[in-house]
C-alpha cells in the first residue's frame, strides 16, 4: 500500500506541474484578449486596468513556477538550468519594477530595472549559447557572431523605420543618439535571443522545453514591438506591451520548469531549413541589410549610421568565415585523431592475438619436444625444437609489422624514407637478396594513416617475395602520377597465376587494408615473370 500511495502522490505532483502552464497561460491569454477588446472599443482606463491585471497575473505565475522549478531541478545539466532560472527571475524583477514604476511613479526604480534587465540578458545569452554548442556541437563563437549580425541589422531597421534618423520618440524630448541606442537595447537584445532560440529549435534533435522557451522569446519581442509603436505615436502608457512582456517571462519560467536540469543530448547538425532561414529568412542579416540598401536607393539616401552598420556587418561576416574555417579544421583534426585512435586500437588487438598465438604455438612445440625426450626419441626432439624456433621467428616477424605500424602512426618512426629504406635493407640481409630503393615521390606526402597502410603492404609483399617466390632482387619505387601517389614493390621471383591467388600470399589481407585507407591495390604477376605489387593513393 505504501508503494501505491507514493506512486499516486508522484502522479498528482506531475499532473499539477504540467497543469501550471495550461492554467497560467489560459488565464493570462484571457486577460490579454480582454484588454485588446476593451482597447479597441472603449480605449479608456478599463483596458489599461485589464492590461495591468494580465501583467500581474503573469508575473505571479512566473514567480510561483520558478519557486516550483527550484525545488525540482536536480538533473545532469544543473548549472545551465540554474542560470536560466536566475535569468528569468532577474527579468521578472525587471518587469515588476517596470509595471510598478508606471503604477506608483517610482522613478528611482529605473536604475534597478536597467540593472536587472542587463543581468538577465547576460544569463539568457549564456544559456542559449551553451544550448547551441551542446545541441549543434559547433563553436560558440560562430553562434555569437551570428546573433550579433542579426542584432546589428535588426537594430538598423528599427532605428531607420521606428525611430527616424537619430530622432527620439514623439513627445520624449530627447533626440540624442545615445537615447536612441538606449531605446534600441532591449528590442535588439530580444531579437538576438530569439535568433539563438530559433537556431537551437531548428536542430535535428531538440529538447521539448525549447518550444516553450521560444514562445516566451516571441512574446518578449512582441512586447518590444508594442512599446515601440505606442512610443512612436506619443501615446505610451500602461497597456499591451507590459502584458506581453510579463507573459513572455511567464513562458520562460515554464521552460525552466519543463527542463528541470535534465541532460541535453547533442544533435548531429542543423537541418537544411535552418540554414536556408539564416541566409534567406526574415532574420537574415543579408536580407535585412539588402532591404535597407534597396529602400535607400529607391526612396532617399541612407543616413551615415546605416553605412557604418554595413561596415560593421562586413567585419562580422568576415570573422564568421574565419571562425567557420577554424571550426572545420578542428573538426577534421578531431576526425583524424579518432581514426588514428581506432587504427591504433586495431593494431593493439592484432599484437595481442599475435603474441597469444605465437607463445601458445611455441609452448606446444616445446612440450612435444620434452615428451619426445622422455621417450628417448632424439630425432623427434630435434624436429620439435626446430619447429618451435621457426614458430618463434614467425611470431617475431608478425610482431614487427604492427609495431612498425604503431611507430608510423604515432610519428615516432622518424624520417619515413629512411624508415622504409632500413626495412628494405633488412630484408636483403636476412634473405640474401639484392635490394634497391627508387623513391622519386617523397613518402612525407602521405598521412600517418596512409604510411601505416603502405608499410603493411610493403612488409607483406616483401615477405612473400623472400619466402615464397625465391626472388633474388627486390625494388621499392614511389612515384607521383597525376594526383595519385604510387608505391610499387617489384621482385624477380617465380611469380604466380593471379587468377588463382590464394590467402597464402596475403593478397586478400593487403587489399582489405588498402580499401580501408581509400587506396587501390593491384598485383601483376605470371609464372616465371616475377611479381609487381602496386599501391595507389589519391591525394
d(CA 52, CA 50): 5
Residue 353 pLDDT exceeds 90:
no
Does residue 528 form part of some domain?
yes
Classify 168 in phi/psi space as left (phi over 0), alpha (psi -120 to 50) or beta: beta
* Average pLDDT, integer, range 519-539: 89
Residue 7 pLDDT exceeds 60:
no
Does residue 2 form part of some domain?
no
Does residue 183 form part of some domain?
yes
Q: What is the pLDDT of residues 160-175, one digit of tens each?
A: 888 764 333 333 444 5
Does residue 188 form part of some domain?
yes
Phi first, then psi: give them for residue 167, nearest 5 degrees. Answer: -100, 140
Picking from 93, 63, 79, the residue whose alpha carbon sits closest to that of residue 259 is: 79
Same domain, 398 and 461: no
Does residue 355 form part of some domain?
yes
Query: Residue 119 has what pLDDT?
Result: 93
Does residue 15 form part of some domain?
no
Same domain, 298 and 356: no
Q: What residues are paired with 115 via a beta bridge?
A: none
Which CATH number belongs to the domain containing residue 459 in this structure? Answer: 3.30.565.10
C-alpha cell read off for 237: 502608457
- Of 282, 302, 322, the residue at which a domain comes to its end is 302
- Of 412, 431, 464, the residue at which a domain comes to its end is 412
* Average pLDDT, integer, range 317-321: 89
Same domain, 207 and 353: no
Q: What is the pLDDT of residues 194-220, one digit of tens each?
A: 988 888 887 656 778 888 899 999 999
The total domain count for the chain is 3
* Average pLDDT, integer, range 232-261: 80
Q: What is the pLDDT of residues 107-133, one digit of tens each?
A: 556 777 788 889 999 999 999 988 888
Name the pLDDT band for 412 (thresholds 50, 70, 90).
confident
Q: Which domain holds residue 387?
A: 333-412
The answer to whether the CB of 99 falls within 8 A of the CB of 149 is: no
Q: What is the pLDDT of residues 68-115, one digit of tens each?
A: 888 776 777 888 999 999 999 998 888 777 666 666 665 556 777 788
Same domain, 168 and 75: yes
Same domain, 436 and 399: no
Same domain, 66 and 177: yes
Same domain, 50 and 87: yes
Does residue 54 form part of some domain?
yes
Does residue 268 form part of some domain?
yes
Same domain, 286 and 146: yes
The answer to whether the CB of 229 falls within 8 A of the CB of 241 is: no
- Of 380, 412, 444, the residue at which a domain comes to its end is 412
Same domain, 406 and 432: no
Same domain, 256 and 196: yes
Query: Residue 208 has what pLDDT?
Result: 80
Q: What is the pLDDT of residues 421-475, one digit of tens each?
A: 888 888 888 788 899 999 999 998 888 888 888 888 888 888 888 877 888 899 9
Same domain, 136 and 203: yes
Q: What is the pLDDT of residues 25-54, one digit of tens each?
A: 666 666 666 655 555 454 455 556 666 677
Amino acid at each position: 500500500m505504501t508503494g501505491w500511495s507514493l506512486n499516486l502522490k508522484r502522479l498528482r505532483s506531475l499532473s499539477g506541474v504540467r497543469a501550471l502552464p495550461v492554467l497560467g497561460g489560459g488565464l493570462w491569454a484571457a486577460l490579454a484578449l480582454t484588454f485588446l477588446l476593451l482597447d479597441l472599443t472603449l480605449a479608456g482606463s478599463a483596458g489599461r486596468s485589464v492590461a495591468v491585471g494580465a501583467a500581474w497575473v503573469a508575473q505571479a505565475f512566473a514567480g510561483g513556477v520558478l519557486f516550483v522549478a527550484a525545488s525540482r531541478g536536480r538533473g545532469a545539466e544543473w548549472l545551465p538550468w540554474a542560470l536560466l532560472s536566475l535569468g528569468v527571475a532577474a527579468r521578472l524583477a525587471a518587469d515588476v519594477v517596470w509595471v510598478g514604476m508606471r503604477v506608483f511613479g517610482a522613478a528611482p526604480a529605473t536604475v534597478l530595472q536597467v540593472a536587472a534587465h542587463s543581468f538577465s540578458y547576460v544569463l539568457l545569452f549564456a544559456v542559449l549559447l551553451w544550448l547551441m554548442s551542446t545541441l549543434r556541437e559547433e563553436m560558440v563563437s560562430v553562434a555569437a557572431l551570428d546573433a550579433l549580425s542579426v542584432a546589428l541589422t535588426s537594430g538598423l531597421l528599427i532605428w531607420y523605420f521606428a525611430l527616424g534618423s537619430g530622432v527620439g520618440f514623439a513627445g520624449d524630448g530627447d533626440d540624442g543618439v545615445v537615447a536612441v541606442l538606449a531605446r534600441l537595447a532591449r528590442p535588439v537584445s530580444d531579437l538576438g535571443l530569439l535568433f539563438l532560440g530559433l537556431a537551437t529549435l531548428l536542430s535535428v534533435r531538440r529538447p521539448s522545453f525549447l518550444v516553450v522557451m521560444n514562445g516566451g522569446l516571441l512574446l518578449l519581442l512582441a512586447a518590444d514591438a508594442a512599446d515601440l509603436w505606442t512610443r512612436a505615436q506619443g501615446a505610451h502608457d500602461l497597456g499591451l506591451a507590459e502584458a506581453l512582456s510579463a507573459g513572455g517571462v511567464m513562458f520562460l519560467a515554464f521552460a525552466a520548469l519543463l527542463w528541470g536540469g535534465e541532460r541535453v543530448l547533442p544533435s548531429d547538425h542543423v537541418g537544411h531549413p535552418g540554414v536556408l532561414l539564416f541566409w534567406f529568412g526574415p532574420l537574415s542579416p543579408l536580407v535585412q541589410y539588402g532591404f535597407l540598401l534597396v529602400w535607400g536607393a529607391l526612396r532617399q539616401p541612407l543616413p551615415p549610421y546605416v553605412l557604418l552598420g554595413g561596415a560593421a556587418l562586413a567585419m562580422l561576416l568576415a570573422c564568421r568565415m574565419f571562425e567557420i574555417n577554424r571550426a572545420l579544421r578542428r573538426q577534421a583534426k578531431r576526425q583524424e585523431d579518432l581514426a588514428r585512435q581506432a587504427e591504433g586500437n586495431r593494431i593493439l588487438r592484432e599484437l595481442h592475438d599475435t603474441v597469444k598465438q605465437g607463445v601458445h604455438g611455441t609452448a606446444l612445440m616445446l612440450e612435444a619436444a620434452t615428451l619426445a625426450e622422455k621417450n628417448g626419441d632424439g630425432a623427434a626432439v630435434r624436429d620439435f625444437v626446430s619447429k618451435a624456433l621457426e614458430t618463434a621467428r614467425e611470431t617475431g616477424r608478425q610482431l614487427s609489422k604492427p609495431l612498425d605500424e604503431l611507430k608510423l602512426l604515432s610519428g615516432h618512426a622518424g624520417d619515413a624514407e629512411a624508415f622504409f629504406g632500413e626495412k628494405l635493407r633488412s630484408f636483403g640481409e636476412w634473405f640474401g637478396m639484392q635490394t634497391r630503393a627508387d623513391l622519386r615521390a617523397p613518402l612525407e606526402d602521405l598521412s600517418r594513416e596512409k604510411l601505416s597502410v603502405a608499410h603493411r603492404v610493403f612488409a607483406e609483399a616483401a615477405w612473400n617475395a623472400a619466402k615464397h617466390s625465391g626472388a633474388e632482387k627486390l625494388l621499392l619505387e614511389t612515384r607521383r602520377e597525376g594526383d595519385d601517389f604510387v608505391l610499387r614493390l617489384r621482385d624477380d621471383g617465380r611469380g604466380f597465376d593471379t587468377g588463382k591467388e590464394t590467402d597464402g600470399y596475403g593478397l586478400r589481407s593487403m587489399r582489405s587494408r588498402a580499401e580501408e585507407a581509400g587506396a587501390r591495390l593491384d598485383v601483376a604477376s605470371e609464372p616465371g615473370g616475377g611479381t609487381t605489387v602496386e599501391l595507389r593513393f589519391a591525394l
